[in-house]
Amino acid sequence: MDINKAKDVFRRSGIKFSQQRLQIFLLLNNKNEPISADDIYLELIKGESNNINISTVYRILGLFTKKGLVLKSNLNIDGKATFEINHRDHRHHLICIQCGKIVPISGCPLKEYERSLIKKTNYLILEHNLEIRGICPECQKIRESKDIGI
């Protein structure tokens, strides 16, 4: 994702361009895991020339969310809300409860199920979220070597 592409997305979404919006948008595009407002802020202020305020981060995330560019993840990381780019390809995550690593998983196992749910409940199903938690291969090795029970 480069600057011109970002400007394009902004224009199409009716979002006025600004440096701060650009930076947050690029950062979110380079992450493939949910990130908190505070972490975005910390990443941006450690970047060389770049300055930004935490309230601006919140405001921009709110704007992006309202415009559908960003999803407010239902995954709260110790009390902080997290956000991620709205990959329209409908992505879920696999989260390691040991090291906190989050990896996107491809495909969605719920298409068929939702159809049956519609029949059963008469709800108009619009969206869902799914997070799966477990222990990644690396952390499993560490656990084995320390002989910790689950």
Task: Using CB under 8 A, list all residues that contact its own copies.
Answer: 74-76, 79, 81, 94, 96-97, 103, 105, 109-110, 113-114, 117, 121-137, 140, 150
CB of 4 or CB of 121, closer to its own copies: 121
CA atoms of 8 and 4, how far apart (whole Å): 6
CA atoms of 5 and 17, how far apart (whole Å): 12
Q: In the complex, what is the shortest distance from the CB of residue 105 to DNA, in angstroms, rounded to a whole number?
A: 25
CA atoms of 58 and 63, how far apart (whole Å): 9
Which residues contact DNA by CB under 7 A?
15-21, 36-38, 51-56, 58-60, 62, 79-81
CB of 51 or CB of 76, closer to its own copies: 76
Q: 25, 64 in Cβ contact below 8 A?
A: yes
Q: In the complex, what is the shortest distance from the CB of residue 64 to its own copies, in angstroms, rounded to a whole number?
A: 18
Residue 1 in tokens: 């994702």
Q: In the complex, what is the shortest distance from the CB of residue 49 to DNA, in angstroms, rounded to a whole number?
A: 11
CB of 100 or CB of 134, closer to its own copies: 134
3-state DSSP assignment of residue 16: coil
Instruction: Residue 18: name its binding partner from DNA, its own copies, none (Cβ under 5 to 8 Å by kind).
Output: DNA
Q: In the complex, what is the shortest distance from the CB of residue 4 to its own copies, in angstroms, rounded to a whole number?
A: 32
CA atoms of 42 and 101, how far apart (whole Å): 19
**Radius of gyration of the chain, Cα coordinates, nearest whole angstrom:** 18
CB of 22 or CB of 135, closer to its own copies: 135
Question: Which has the closest alpha carbon to 75: 24, 33, 23?
Answer: 33
